Amino acid sequence: MPDNELYLVVLPLVHLGPVNSGLAEQVITLLPERSFATVFTRDEVERFVTTFKRGAHQYLQGGRVVGYSFTVEPVEGDRVLVKVVQNVTE
């Protein structure tokens, strides 16, 4: 089974409905499409990568998922995106 190539994405969420309406938060996730990747400034990227690594290590590893590899890739000017390889076993 090949590893999965994904990209780090930060999604802003605003809750609707009768409970917690208007509550805003950010969620970090991975998506397989590079065009959806969040473009970070160099001074903020490490904080997001560290936060995701901690959560992934604690909650997303197990079964066939054995780990994650992170690569910061330059895009435009002084900005970067994060390519994440989800390491899996057969």
Whose tokens are 């969420």? That residue is: 13
Average pLDDT for runs of 10 along the chain of length 90: 91 94 96 97 96 94 93 95 95
pLDDT at 18: 93
Q: How far apart are CA 68 and CA 5, in angstroms?
A: 10
pLDDT at 1: 57
Q: Which residues of 25-48 are buried (b: 16+ CB within 10 A; e: fewer)?
A: eeebebeeeeeebbebeeeebeeb
Query: Residue 36: which domain range?
Result: 4-88
Number of folded domains that form the chain: 1
pLDDT at 61: 92
Q: Where does the chain have alpha helices with state H?
A: 42-55
